[in-house]
Amino acid sequence: MNSSGELGAALHLARAIAETGPLSVASFMEIALAHPRHGYYRTRPGIGADGDFITAPEISQLFGEMIGVWVLQSWLDLGSPKAWHLIELGPGRGTLAADLLHTLKIRPQALDGLGLHLVEISEPLRRAQAGSLASLGVSPHWHARLPDIGEAPCIIIANEFFDALPIRQFLRLNGVWCERRVALAEPTDEHPRFAFVAVPTLYDVISEIPEAADSPDGYVVEICPSASAIAAEIGSRLTRQPGRALIIDYGDARPPGEPTLQAVRGHARHDVLAEPGTADLTAHVDFAALAHAAAEAGARAHGPVPQGAFLEALGLQARAEALRRAATPAQSETIAAAVHRLTDAAEMGALFKVLALGHPDLGALPGFPNRVD
């Protein structure tokens, strides 16, 4: 281990705790994931069979093609603007952007005035995105934050983006609300170890989560202020200029009051506090909070709906059958397995949800139950 490798983030966290006391879970996540020199997203590609986790676009081109169908229909619903932005938050290796751009070629005029904007802080992933998009004739623009992108009619895609934003955790203990924080388990300058502690808080948990008012001891509340802030920024942007946003992520799968923070490394569960900076940290997304924040900013929320139902409503099965007719038996089995993984309730079909946001005057959206053709 060295300061730029597996121990860098841990040493930085240990120094921060020594200087300021136990860190909030949000601060721990922010340093472990996004520290400019040692953060997981700054130093590791993460995604793919040779990484730590795999996302829907990496499972099959079908996912990106269906998102492309949604983007194309949304572009038409916006009045086919000649100049428009396609914005992706956390675009991974660029696979989703590449696959949906292939679909947009059905209407070449949609590509003529397209500005592709990728919000990405990881240099390794920016390089991967550039490689994925190199042959498509579209030059992406990279940004660290959504507000850095100029105004235009836009369509925003966020696939597995919100789950990695820093959360705060609050714990009911002996009838008192405490904030769950991260402390040093034992003082050491070489291999820091960390532990959760509960610190009494004046934060008004009940005003944030009213349903937690009569919660028992051990009840955990998670909030994500940065997710709500980004949803509000999206909502405001979509009301200033006609546009839509599609948010695909996982959440709402555990009973209320249970923590959802988890770490993944090498496609397996990992101790959240062990070797920070070397594993991906995520938590379930509060779709209701995102919808509320966007609506407060003026946008209209649609859903969430299960990912499986959303993809099937866009024509996933028909597209898969078309691919299978021209496929070898082995390829056909691969396509069928991908469809199962993306849509089955026991796989990604129910755990992953889809929330759409739009300008309030745009009406129904493709892939949602209130779609009117």
Q: How confident is the model at residue 188 (pLDDT cuts 50, 70, 90)?
A: low
**Residue 49's pLDDT is what?**
60
Task: Tell me the pLDDT of the chain averaged across its residues.
Answer: 90
Q: How confident is the model at residue 1 (pLDDT cuts 50, 70, 90)?
A: very low
CATH of the domain spanning 56-165+224-251+286-358, picked from 3.30.160.270, 2.102.10.10, 3.20.20.70, 3.40.50.150: 3.40.50.150
**Residue 4's pLDDT is what?**
41
pLDDT in tens, 224-234: 999 999 999 99
Phi, psi angles (nearest 5°) of residue 291: -65, -40
Q: How confident is the model at residue 48 (pLDDT cuts 50, 70, 90)?
A: low
DSSP string, 302-325: EEEEEHHHHHHHTTHHHHHHHHHH
Chain length of the chain: 373
Looking at residue 90, the DSSP 8-state letter turns out to be S
Proportion of the chain above pLDDT 70, given as a percent: 93
Question: What is the pLDDT averaged over residues 4-27?
Answer: 86
DSSP string, 190-247: SS-EEEEEEEE----HHHH-GGGTTPPTT-EEEE-HHHHHHHHHHHHHHHHTTEEEEE
**Residue 45's pLDDT is what?**
61
pLDDT in tens, 318-363: 999 999 999 999 999 999 999 999 999 999 999 999 999 999 888 7
Q: How confident is the model at residue 213 (pLDDT cuts 50, 70, 90)?
A: confident
Q: How confident is the model at residue 371 (pLDDT cuts 50, 70, 90)?
A: very low
**Residue 337's pLDDT is what?**
96
Residue 66 has pLDDT above 90, yes or no: yes
pLDDT in tens, 161-181: 999 999 999 999 998 999 999
* Cα(147)–Cα(158) distance, integer angstroms: 15
Q: How confident is the model at residue 3 (pLDDT cuts 50, 70, 90)?
A: very low
Decide: 75 and 111 in contact? Cβ < 8 Å: no
CA 228, chain centre distance (Å): 13
pLDDT in tens, 242-288: 999 999 999 875 667 889 999 988 878 899 999 998 888 999 999 99
Residue 373 has pLDDT above 70, yes or no: no
Proportion of the chain above pLDDT 90, given as a percent: 73
